[in-house]
Amino acid sequence: MDNHKSPDPNHRKPWRDFIRKVAGKQSRKIRARQGKSESIWFGLGLLGVLGWSVVLPTLLGLALGIWIDRQYPSRFSWTLMLMVGGLMLGCWNAWHWVTREQAQIDRATNKSTEESDRE
């Protein structure tokens, strides 16, 4: 004569799902807030690295071109050709680096989204 029903295991499932989703969103917010102070310095550092990754090959091409033009005069301007070549190489290098960093950021974002969705 026991009228006591056993608890339904699915009764608390919606609450658990809700709590997990809120916890996942909260942890993403906390990570974003902690990363904000770093993002300013990261952005400035990124500009510096990208700037030098373009300027350095350009200047090296310019210097090499001037040296070749002085040592071996010709009707073609090695200075101009190697400066443009260095600029193109520097731009490609910067593009490659930014693409790699963006892919890494996307992977981290997708991983944190998948983790919060599982919770």
Do the domain assignments include residue 1?
no
Do the domain assignments include residue 46?
yes
- Predicted pLDDT at 86: 97
What's the rounded Cα separation, in Å, for the pair 7 and 52?
66
Count how many domains the chain has. Answer: 1
Do the domain assignments include residue 58?
yes
- Predicted pLDDT at 68: 96
Do the domain assignments include residue 30?
no
Which residues constitute the domain of residue 81? 41-103
- Predicted pLDDT at 88: 97
- Predicted pLDDT at 76: 92
Do the domain assignments include residue 11?
no
- Predicted pLDDT at 41: 75
Do the domain assignments include residue 60?
yes
- Predicted pLDDT at 14: 75
- Predicted pLDDT at 38: 60
Do the domain assignments include residue 14?
no
- Intervals of the chain under pLDDT 70: 1-12, 32-39, 112-119
Do the domain assignments include residue 97?
yes
